[in-house]
Amino acid sequence: MSIDGGGTRGYLPALVLQELERRAKRPASDLFDLIVGTSTGGIIGIGLAAGRSATELAQFYPRYGRAIFGGSDTRPRWKQRLFGTTGDFARDWESSLRKIGSPFGGDPGGGGNARHSADGLDAALGEVLGEMTLAQVSTPLIATTFDAASGVPVLLTSRDAAKSADRDLPLRLVARATSAAPTFFPPLETTWAGATRRFIDGGVWANNPAHLGMLEAITSASADPRSVTLVSLGTGAAPTRPSFQLDLSWISAAMDTVALATTVHTGHTLCQRYLSPDRYHRLQVTDPGIAGAMDDPSAERLAALASAANRLIADHSDHLDRVLQQLIVS
C-alpha cells in the first residue's frame, strides 16, 4: 500500500482505509506485505505498521489538528485575522512572527521560514507512536524524506533499520522526518546512518511514493511486477492543467516547477506502466475544492474531506470489494 502526502488531506485516505478495515473485518495492516508513505501518508502508514487501527488513525487530524496547526473553530474569523487564531497572546504572537518571516526568512528566533512550530506535531506523534522504533514494526515500512544537509533523497525503511542500528530511529522521528514540509514546519535535525541530517518532507521528491513501493516489492522479494498487487491512496488533487506555457511570466514558470516537484502523477504513471492493470488500484479524488490548504484542520474542512471520502467509497464500492478479494487471497 502507498499513501500520498497532503497535510490535513490525509484524513481522506484514512477514512478509505477505515472502510477497507470494516469490510475486511481485520486490521488494515494485516492486508498488506509492505506500506510506503510520504508526509501525512507517511504518518498514517507508520501508525498502521506500528499496529494502530485505521479507525484510530482516521481521528489523527480531528483530534490533534488544532494542536498541530493552531486556530479555533469557535473564534470568529475576523478576530482570528486581526488578533490571531488561538486567543492565546503568546502563541498568536509567535504565529504572527512565523507568518511574517515565511516570505522573507532569515530570523530563526522569529520563526524563520516555518509557519508552524513543531511542538504540537511532536507531541501528537509521541502520544500516538510512543517509543517504538522503525526496526520494531510489525509490517514492513518505507517513509520518504529528504536530507537538506546533503541535498539527497532518503528512504527510511524497516528493512534497513533491522540490518543496521545506525539506520534505526523512533517512529515519532520517522514521522517528523517525512512530514517536515518546507515553510510549514522546521526540518528535523537528527543523526542517521552515521551523519548529522536535516530531514524535510519527502513530498519534495516523492509526493506519491507508489513506484517506490513497487520497486521495493520487486527487489526485496524478487517478485514479477505483474504479480504485485498495489493499492495507492491519494489525498485529493486538482485537475491537471498545461504547464510551462511560454506566454506566462517567470513567476508562473517557477510555480510550475514547484508543482512539478510535488506532483503525484509520476508514481502513478510508473505503476501504470509496469504493474498489471487489474492489480494496480489508484483511489483518488480529483476536485479543486478538496485539493486546497494542507494546514486547515477546521471542522468545515474536515467535513468536506469526509464527504469526499464517502463519495469515493460509494462510487467505487464494487472496486473496493475486488481489491479486498485480491488482498485476502494473496
Do the beta carbons of residue 28 and residue 49 sit within 8 Å?
A: no
Do the beta carbons of residue 90 and residue 132 sit within 8 Å?
A: no
Do the beta carbons of residue 265 and residue 207 sit within 8 Å?
A: no
CA dihedral 3, 95, 97, 91 (to 10 degrees): -140
Question: What is the chain's length?
Answer: 330
**List 2, 29, 39, 158, catalytic entry:** 39
Which grid cell is 229? 498487487
Active site residue 201: yes
Nearest C-alpha neighbor of 21 from the set 43, 47, 53, 64: 53
- Spatial separation of the C-alpha atoms in residues 153 and 221, rounded to whole Å: 23
Max CA distance (Å), the chain: 59
**List 201, 232, 295, 296, catalytic entry:** 201
Region for residue 39 given its phi and psi (left: phi exceeds 0; alpha: psi -120 to 50; beta: otherwise): left
- Spatial separation of the C-alpha atoms in residues 258 and 183, rounded to whole Å: 13
Q: Which residues contact 107 (CB under 8 A, 6 or more apart)?
A: 97, 101
Pairing of strands 141-147, 35-37: parallel
- Spatial separation of the C-alpha atoms in residues 45 and 33, rounded to whole Å: 12
Element (H, E) at 128: helix 119-129
Which grid cell is 180? 517536515
Instruction: Please identify every residue annotated as catalytic.
Output: 39, 201
